[in-house]
Amino acid sequence: MIIRGRGICRGIGSGELLVSPAPISFLSGVDPNSGDIVEKGHPLFGQNIAGKVFVFPFGKGSTVGSYVLYALSRNGHAPAAIVNQEAEPIIATGAIIGSIPMIDRIDVPLHKLKNGTHVTVNGETGEMEYNGELQNN
């Protein structure tokens, strides 16, 4: 199935979905040396974003979050791609300087996407190839 959205950062990234129901702060929320989510109380606390297609509504927090995304990329622990409900400048800038394919405004609600489903994100066309069933919730 092809899910359509808006391209934010060019490139193609493939991997398993890691879907967060909550926004995330990359500054002090994600360890740039490992890709682990370390934000206390976050629903995905302890999970790792490296090589995953990371789906979350939007970013929150400091502008330094852009640099954390760049550091994740430089350290080899970046997500394969990012999908947001609505891209905001901190996450978009981080994706661009870290060369992480990114899309937003997809035509399927984020909560319908199933963790572990293999997808391919095309940041140029804004499309995501979704290889699985959508959740019924």
Are 1 and 130 within 8 A, CB to CB? yes
Q: Of 85, 86, 89, which Cα lies nearest the Cα of 69?
A: 89
Amino acid type, 7? G
DSSP string covering 58-106? -B-S-THHHHHHHHHHHTT---SEEEESS--HHHHHHHHHTT--EEE--
Choose, from 14, 34, 62, 99, the residue flagged as catalytic: 62
**Catalytic annotation on 62?**
yes
Residue 137 pairs in a beta bridge with none
DSSP conformational letter for 3: E
Catalytically active residues, by annotation: 62
